[in-house]
Amino acid sequence: MRIILIILTMAVVGAGVGLMLRQLNRPGEEAVAVEPEMAPDATPPAGTGTDGWDAGESITQSRRTAIVRAAQEVGPAVVSISVTATRVVRASPWFPFRDQFFKDFFGERQYVEEVSNLGSGVVVSPYGYVVTNEHVVRNATEIKVTLPDGREYDATVVESEQEYDLAILKIEGDDIPYVILGDSDSIIIGEWAIAIGNPFGYLLSDAHPTVTVGVVSALHRDVKASEGVVAVYKDMIQTDAAINPGNSGGPLVNALGEVIGINAFIITKSGGSMGMGFAIPVNRVKYMIDEVSRYGRMRRIWIGLLVQEITPLLAQSLGLERSDGVIISRVDEGSPAERCGLVRGDVIVAVNGERVRNYESARRAIFGSRVGDILEFEVIRDGEPRSFDVRVEEAPES
């Protein structure tokens, strides 16, 4: 009962105050809101400092960090890529019987099937050129590119380089947003890294990209080749920004809003991001774009020699002290290798100071070489070390 009386009393007092305020106005005049006078030592209203500083406005400004600005600048040019591709499937005609006898006796059946693939990409030119990973569009029969604003275009492959794991696509449209490419040689370990793309795009109903943030964890990472993988992942950018399935081909961005890499793959045990993501340095992308713009294609390099690995048995038969390196099995007539003096039987132990132990390391040693580059080959000939400079040329059409 006492509680009810108190509430009623407060209501009456409130009504009385309201009546008093209205009576301060002359008859016929509109009521004027009256602010209570603030004593000099009274606490100012929340959100306003004694010097007139607006805390709410300051917080709003502080929310617009460099990361927010970078994401807003690059985001409109990050696209979703939907691919229809073909692949060859090998299956036993006696499935589910997997006994080796049936496989050897009847052989395997091969057939071609269509598969769908999703990835990301980024527009790098106002003329509609899009960069993505080669593995996103490999064997594609149809490619659809969707902008964040919902516009969808058919895309064609301008150039695709499996060893670089990069592809350039072309779409036709007006007012297409594009990004600024940075300089991957100026990246600093520990600086902000922003991964933008369309992870798990098949689960989402719109094409707006997802933003994840981390740092540049390491530079110049060489990732060992997996069986059957042609791409060479050398001098990669490592980041702990979350990269998930569907992010492949999207940009890695710095705090200035510049693209510093193209997200390629992750190392994971679970299938999801574990903080071990890798991106292709953007300077490699710029080189590919320059080649295509100048020559209409990526020029293939030519040295003009074939090599084979040195087995312990081969090393013994040739009187070699070790089986490290690769041995030259053929030198093409008129090739850069022949002109510089390399001959069949030379054992290559290093290229440009990079140790060569086997075929794979030899391939990685010359990876990224460009037409006109000079490569220093260190070889063993007749038990003696020798050095030869080979100028890389464009591969003949044949």
82, 120, 135, 184: the active-site residue: 135
Which class for 123: exposed (0-12), middle (13-18), buried (19 or more C-beta within 10 A)?
A: buried
Which class for 11: exposed (0-12), middle (13-18), buried (19 or more C-beta within 10 A)?
A: exposed
| Annotation marks residue 332 as catalytic | no
| Annotation marks residue 82 as catalytic | no
Q: Is 21 helix (H, G, I), strand (E, B) or coil?
A: helix
Helix (H) or strand (E) holding 283: helix 282-295
Q: Is 93 helix (H, G, I), strand (E, B) or coil?
A: coil
d(CA 53, CA 39): 19
- Percentage helix, strand, coil for the chain under 3-state DSSP, each rounded to 5: 25, 35, 45
Helix (H) or strand (E) holding 277: strand 277-281
In this structure, what are the phi and psi dihedrals at residue 139, rounded to the nearest 5 degrees?
60, 25
248, 273, 323, 335: the active-site residue: 248
In this structure, what are the phi and psi dihedrals at residue 18, rounded to the nearest 5 degrees?
-60, -40
Q: End-to-end CA distance of the chain, in Å?
A: 103
80, 120, 160, 165: the active-site residue: 165
| Annotation marks residue 135 as catalytic | yes
Catalytic residues: 135, 165, 248
